[in-house]
Amino acid sequence: MTKRSGSDLILISTTALLTACLPLAASAQQAAPEVTLDAVVVDAKADSGSATGPVNGYVARNTATGSKTNTPIEEIPQSVSVIGRQQLDDQGAKKVDEALRYTAGVFAQPFGADSDTNWMFIRGFQATATGTYLDGLPLFSFAFGAFYIDTFNMERIEVLRGPASVLYGGANPGGLVNYISKRPEGERKRRIEAGINDAGTAYVGVDIADRVNEKFDYRFSGIFTGGDGYTDFSEELRGSFSPSITWRPTADTSLTVLGNYTFFDQNHGGGSFLPYIGTVRPAAFGRIRRDANFTEPDIDTYVRKQVTVGYELEHAINDAWAVRQNFRFGHADIKEISLYPYGYLGFSPTPTDPDFLLQRINFGHNTDLTTVTVDNQLEGNVDTGPINHRLLFGFDYKYVDMDQMQATGTATPISAVAPIYGALQGIRTPYIDQNIKQNQFGLYLQDQLRFGNGWIVTLNGRYDYVDTKAKGTPEYTGKDAKFSGRAGLAYEFESGITPYASVATFFLPLVGSTLATNMFKPESGYQYEVGVKYRPTFLDALFTLSLFDLTRENVVTGPFLAETQIGEVNSKGIELEAKVNVTDNLRVLASFTAFNLQITDDANAALIGNTPFIVPEQQAALGLDYTIDSGVLKGLILGGGVRYIGSSWADNENTMKVPSATVFDARIGYKRDNWGVDLNITNVFDKKFVASCQTQFACSYAEGRVFKFKAHVDL
């Protein structure tokens, strides 16, 4: 089956399902007597304090991301955000980076709407490669070897801002994003969902769960997507399917098995790797079209096949002590061919000929990635006089085996205004052909102390050993060992106000080498953070204010193959976030971020004091969602939001700036009994702007206006 025929099939099936849903729901409604129901039904289990279960509206209570134990968010000595299933559905987020657009401290989609990667920066530092986790276990990413997780199969997305090496070993210093999978809840669920956007991409998804008996629960969620994208030649056919079961052989023991299979078969979209002159600033011909795509459609391809399978095993030894083991095996096979522009003819930042030709790079790679991760934990409660200790002892292990081949060849230039496709391209020759193996062992200890009717002290220590070997081209080896720590202090007032302070150190092992230093040594650094979390006693809400000072050391700087590691970057600023369930029918969220990101040391002394490119130093967002619960408009849903993305630099020399932008989003829907429909509109006024630039040769348009329609029925 070709990709086009697959797209046609899913468009036809989606249309049929949408047509069937409304009469089915309408007949069910006619058959039942009229009853008065709240427009938003809150599951009592959603407020049970689970660290992995459903979130009540927009306001979560507990998380395990900041402590590896089921802990109230206000007791974590760092800033934490939780995006639950309700918020994902209300905003119509189909990707993780879409879901993070309203989250404090996070700059999402810096390279526009990339269909195969979730891009995000936290507190100024990229978290895509070194800061993504699934159910508390790391998702390894290096070069083009990575795992893609679909939001349809998620229950939550959790953001821990600031260093987390004390819990997870090497991790992005700005913070991490932890994806929490849907899992069995012991209740019956039969949901069918279908949708389509205005580009022609449609999907069908199912979410089925039930209790077999007192010992077994199961769940299956899956989505199948296909259709055209928003730029020339972009199209896709993909699916992601996640079965899970929970087995409780005794009252003290539970085993949850989580699996996933994901595949992609698509062509790349355009809108990225475009020159500054011609996007941010007009060229002689004006600006390059936002929907232009300068690849070669006949050879462009992106194919992904990945599988993950793991388990969460827990046994209560007694009322005070429990042991856990979390395990996951993952494998991904990714093949990619793409031609993308890099400046104008002759790699010039400005046009050099009357046809406004763009220089192109002919790139391809084959990547085979296998990972094994296991985390062993012993948790217990101990009292020493007036102090209660919640202790966590852990040992984790990470194994990575990655084969990668990257190749490039000559490419014909192409006009920025009148592109002609089909010219013969050069044969790609490998410049990287290697196998990378990495083993990492970590021992960690955490003590959460509570005393004095409100005092909370959190102490963490961890020691890691990392062994990395790369064979082939290039070849290098390296061994590193590092200690990291965290100390936090908080006081919880009866009013719900919890001020806190913490200090943490971190390290981040790097994969890669240079002729000057062989293998890169790990990055390291430290952070100071103070803040206040407020969970009112009279309102279902969580307000967070945090101030931080974060320093990242041993940053790789300098030209390719001649890099050094004297680089240092400091990020300090303020973050505010509010999430409020005003009523069962009205939910509000808001965020504000302002920080100073500064290069404090670099191989190029002229850059010291400047701001790194890509990341805006100010962002703000406000969103709400309201359901009418009475009268003739009962069931009508109105929602929307506004996002401000501040200006950023296009180069580390700080000579070229990317302007700020304000974007509006909207939602209108209808929900009645067991069915509902929604129309989400992103970038309502179709604001055309550049999301960011990483040098003057690689600018990316932000996502334009998108209409997303969906319907669901619960059977």
pLDDT tens, residue by residue, 519-569 = 888 999 999 999 999 999 999 999 999 999 999 999 988 766 667 788 999
DSSP code at position 459 = E
Residues 6 or more apart in contact with residue 92 via CB below 8 angstroms:
667, 678, 680, 682, 708, 710
Partners of 384 in the beta sheet? Answer: 387
Q: How many CB atoms lie within 10 A of CB 47?
A: 17
Distance CA 380, CA 547 (A): 32
Partners of 365 in the beta sheet? Answer: 336, 406
User: How much is the pLDDT for 601?
Assistant: 95
> What single-letter amino acid sits at 480?
D
Query: The tokens of 12 are what?
Result: 């036809």
On whether the CB atoms of residues 314 and 308 are closer than 8 A, the answer is no
CB-neighbour burial class of residue 453 (10 A; exposed 0-12, middle 13-18, buried 19+): exposed
Domains of the chain: 3-714 (2.40.170.20)
Q: Which helix (H) or strand (E) holds 9?
A: helix 3-31
Low-confidence ranges of the chain (pLDDT < 50): 1-46
pTM tops 0.85: yes
User: How much is the pLDDT for 266?
Assistant: 96
Residues 6 or more apart in contact with residue 585 via CB below 8 angstroms:
38, 39, 40, 626, 627, 628, 629
User: What are the CA-CA distances from residue 226 to residues 316, 424, 680, 712 (Å)?
Assistant: 45, 29, 19, 18
Distance CA 553, CA 701 (A): 31
Query: The tokens of 570 are what?
Result: 């400091």
Distance CA 701, CA 689 (A): 6
Residues 6 or more apart in contact with residue 54 via CB below 8 angstroms:
43, 45, 46, 84, 85, 86, 155, 185
The tens digit of pLDDT for each residue in 308-359 reads 999 999 999 999 999 999 999 999 999 999 999 999 999 999 999 999 999 9
User: How much is the pLDDT for 4?
Assistant: 40
- Count of H helices and E strands in the chain? 4, 39
User: How much is the pLDDT for 563?
Assistant: 76
Residue 630 phi/psi, 5° resolution?
-155, 165
Rounded to a whole number of angstroms, the CA Rg of the chain reads 25
> What single-letter amino acid sits at 15?
T
Partners of 261 in the beta sheet? Answer: 241, 307
